[in-house]
Chain A
Amino acid sequence: MDFDFTEEQTLLRNMVQSFVQDNYDFDSRMKIVRSETGMSRENWSQFAELGLLAAPFDESFGGLGGGAVDTMIITEEFGKGLVTEPFLPTVVLCGGLLERHGSDAQKDMHLPPLIGGEKIWALAYSEPKSRFNPANVQTTAKQDGDGFVLSGLKSVVNGGPWADYLIVSARTSGEGWQQDGISLFIVDKSADGVASQDYETIDGGRAADISFENVKLSPESLLGTLDAGLPLLEEALDYGIAAICGEAIGGMHKAHQATVEYCKTRNQFGVAIGSFQALQHRMVDMFMEYEQSVSLTYMVNMHVGGDAASRTRAASGAKVQIGKAGRYIGQSAVHLHGGMGMSEELNVGHYFKRLTAIDAQLGSIDYHLKRFGSSEAA
């Protein structure tokens, strides 16, 4: 039993840290999110050069052979810098799905350009009426000769505006929220019949509602087994949770740290406001929530590769914790900064907004409480 990082992992952390320090100070970050595209292609190429996009993949595809913990280290440092580039959808969600379940041809074709930073991916699974349940799919893919015809609408696709390729969940049989009958497809976003309505999200990110109107798909675009895509999707989302938990603890750490520093220097009534016990105890409660979130973030990253039951329980448990802690720490950080906390020019409000968005991504507190409760104890 040990909670130490290997020497390679420490080097990786140092590398991401210095990237964020050098290229992702608050002003640079705000320039990026306020730009038209909302991401920096230059940064993305840098990620590729530094090997960050290769970190979790097997060496046979040009990856670096790291595990979930390596991914967590990257997202944690990204979280500290509020990095907005689509590492989660491209590398963790779609890259992970491709590597674990793609055919050899799919992997050979898609992984090298993904790792090389040439192609960006997004996971189009949620729908206007699906809420957080990935089994609730109305988008359909009907057999058409050897191939399929895809029709439907996917909502709030994280990183959608930047994506070259999508992985789309669609019903190939069944209906409603039946577990069976869901399949996953690789879709070229420039294909005929794909239309993307792009927008900015509350945290400075970008997302899209993407519609598919009789989009013709080749038989080779099927990812995994026909009608049996849901377990693959659930697994990918749990990997996504493990990674987003890393990002969340990075953001919580910065928000808490900034608050403690502010309360040490802000004077009212002739003393630093950090000397008031009411504020001290709130900052201690923030600290405890942060530490408990770190604990479950480590826990989920150690268990995400395990069997489905323990993975589900770990991921949902961790997502509940970081959802609650993110709200508490974000709200408290704004509050303890007083009026300054309300200012768009201060970083604290942006950590609050990112933590708020994380809570609504990949399933809310209530959704995961329910999922945790219905999973069998490992």
Chain B
Amino acid sequence: MNFDFSPEENAFREEVSQFISDNYPKHLTESRRAEFAKEDFLSWHRVLAEKGWVAPHWPEEFGGPGWSVTQRYIFDDECAKANTLIVLPFGITMLGPVLMHYANDAQKAHYLPRILSGEDWWCQGYSEPGSGSDLASLKTKAEHDGDDYVVNGHKIWTTLAQHADWMFCLVRTSQEDKPQKGISFLLIDMNSPGIEVRPIITIDGSHEVNEVFLTDVRVPAENLVGEEGNGWGIAKFLLGNERTGIAGVARSKNAVKRLKEISCAELVDGEPLIEDMDFKKKISELEIDLLALEYTELRTLAAESAGRGPGAESSILKIKGTEIQQKVTELIMEAVGTYSLPKIPMLDTGANYNLVGPDYSHGVSQSYFNMRKTAIYGGTNEVQRNIIAKFVLGL
């Protein structure tokens, strides 16, 4: 048992760190209030794509870098340390492996390179107004008509659909049998006639998620991935496939660092907040939880490296990881105190507003509001508990 990185791994870390500092787009490093634009995400995506690092977990034959589990961990860690924008998961992390596993050769040849290059922006058409945790009850219908499917339905909570070129979508192709059996996995061009994307503004004032209405949308039958009726299997594969980084340890460490900096700057009767025993204890408890999660993740990675793939235990990473992400934004808001109150517009409406308080106070409450989503998305934390109860504890 040892927790040391090999000299090769340390050299790799150095290489990654150097690459980021040399190549991360300068305009993304400025502190900013407004949310990032499509072009912001793509500018970093393209830099990584050119280097061959944009899809760390893809096999080399499809354009991945051929990294070990540990190298992937180091890469994520360095990106988080440098506070880079993330590479959006919808194409690279979610759809890519599905296509490699289920798609025909023509589909692979067409879509995979476009995911890597960033040419296609993907969104995920899963949830519906009546189908959240009970996803298999989804109603969006795809019916055969000549060489096409005709799709009618209503998707919701579709992240960044406003930028998307394509949507991978779960649709119902049969009403018979168990609900799970009639589901298929379709690739839908977002420019198709009959698609309407309506923004949902969330409690933090930002526009991340959308409703997508599909009315008589014609989708060529060749856009079906895998067998008709096998969409549920694909959906489960997608969820279980890529859990590295789900814990968000490195990014939470960054956030804890910011929390400590703010706690040093804020004063309580002339003394730094971080010297206040009550507040310090809260920080320590958070740090200890995070330290435990870091080692839980490393244990999972070590098991994965040894070919004992992550099981349902990795649901722990999702639950604990999101609890910590939420807690740290909560404490940052608390540390900032009254300057957490002024509302900072997240959307560029062109309106003037007064920016008051220290720089570090801007947007902290909005972050806190926004992070409530983490315990809800990707299978709520209660659904994750159900998974552990069933598959780990055998209840």
Contact = CB atoms under 8 A, between A and B. Distances in A.
Interface in B243-299: 277, 280-281, 283-285, 287-289, 291-296, 298-299
B347 interface: no
B386 A291 contact: no
B86 interface: no
B81 to A, nearest CB: 14
Interface string B284-322: 110111011111101100110110000001001001100
Given A1-B302, A2-B1, A280 B295 contact: no
Contacts of A293: 292
A370 B288 contact: no
A235 to B, nearest CB: 20
B388 interface: yes
B289 A1 contact: no
Given A281-B382, A298-B1, A292 B289 contact: yes
B379 to A, nearest CB: 14
Contacts, number: 117
B291 A260 contact: no
Contact of A292 (B283, B293, B382): B293
Contacts of A1: 2-5, 9, 70, 298, 302
Nearest to A371: B284
Interface residues of B, number: 41
B395 A373 contact: no
A269 interface: no
A284 interface: yes
A288 B287 CA distance: 17
A299 B1 CA distance: 10
Given A283-B395, A291-B313, A5 B299 contact: no
Contacts of A2: 1-2, 302, 305-306
Contact of A291 (B281, B316, B393): B316
A251 B295 CA distance: 20
B349 to A, nearest CB: 42
B46 interface: no
Interface string A122-133: 000000000000
Given A369-B281, A370-B281, A283 B299 contact: no
Interface string A288-326: 100111111011011000000000000001001100000
Interface of A: 1-6, 9, 69, 260, 263-264, 274-275, 277, 280-281, 283-285, 287-288, 291-296, 298-299, 301-302, 317, 320-321, 366, 369-370, 372-373
17 contacts: A1-B2, A1-B298, A264-B394, A274-B395, A285-B385, A287-B388, A292-B289, A292-B292, A293-B292, A295-B299, A299-B295, A317-B291, A320-B284, A320-B285, A320-B288, A321-B288, A373-B283
Interface of B: 1-5, 9, 70, 277, 280-281, 283-285, 287-289, 291-296, 298-299, 302-303, 305-306, 313, 316, 319-320, 382, 385-386, 388-389, 392-395
